[in-house]
Amino acid sequence: MRTKRFLVAVALAVCSMTVQAQDPTPSELYFNKTELPNGLVFLPAPPDSSSAQFLYDISQYIWGKSKRQDSLRAQQAIRDVVIDIGDMAREFSPVFGMEISKEKTPAIFKVLNLGVVTMRLSASNLKTTYKRRRPYVVFSEPTLIPAEEDELRNTGSYPSGHTLRGWAMALLLSEINPAAQDEILKKGYEWGESRVIAGYHWQSDTDASRLLASACYARLHTSEDFLKDMAAARKEFAEKLRHQ
């Protein structure tokens, strides 16, 4: 029965990936890629395979595989594969304290959509420059999400785009609802660890993504459009909170 429930969770996660909403157009975003912090300048390169740092990556890969034995944590890792903002908002809603959706919280959804997608742009030049092989490719082992293995096999592992999205959303939601910041940030951190557990990323990939997202988040606060949208999101949250 447990195996059956686990397979159903996998199927639902894969299905959700096929109905993603379209990302905002480049002209709608707060910044373009060249205006965001350049991780090639301030982040280290991925660990060399002969380094002590890479040994830690390997130990964390082994740790991630061990966490798959915990069915609840494995299911969470599968759910965390989503990249559609609506799906991500649904996963973050419990720790945020209210349902987040385009229909029920349009101002919050707008700043999440534009903010996360803007920050995600910062990963592309690192991925194409380093072209780091993913752990499941290096070890020729299965992942928690088989449906994505072929598609991502030849894409760069460093940094983790999923982790960047998850940490970016956690930062945004923490600013909107600072009273729940600890729970939100815990969820954002676990979002990245899910990529290690699933077998798609090294620990150093996820660590770099959090640093990159945090740098981009500081940059967002120099955008008047972002500040206006964030103010509207916080106002909407306060109004919704009063009527709960």
Q: Give the catalytic positions in this structure.
A: 162, 195, 201, 205
Could you tell me the end-to-end alpha-carbon distance of the chain, in angstroms, rounded to an integer? 38
Instruction: Report residue 46 as tokens.
Output: 């991925």
Q: How far is CA 24 from CA 5, 97, 135, 204, in A?
A: 35, 26, 31, 29
Give the C-alpha separation, 144 to 75, whole Å.
Answer: 9
Q: What are phi and psi of 13, to 5 degrees?
A: -65, -40
Give the C-alpha separation, 92 to 54, whole Å.
Answer: 31
Give the C-alpha separation, 90 to 163, whole Å.
Answer: 17
From the list 224, 203, 218, 43, the residue with the least C-alpha distance to 123 is 43
Percentages helix, strand, coil for the chain (3-state, rounded to 5) are: 70, 0, 30
Give the C-alpha separation, 57 to 118, whole Å.
Answer: 28
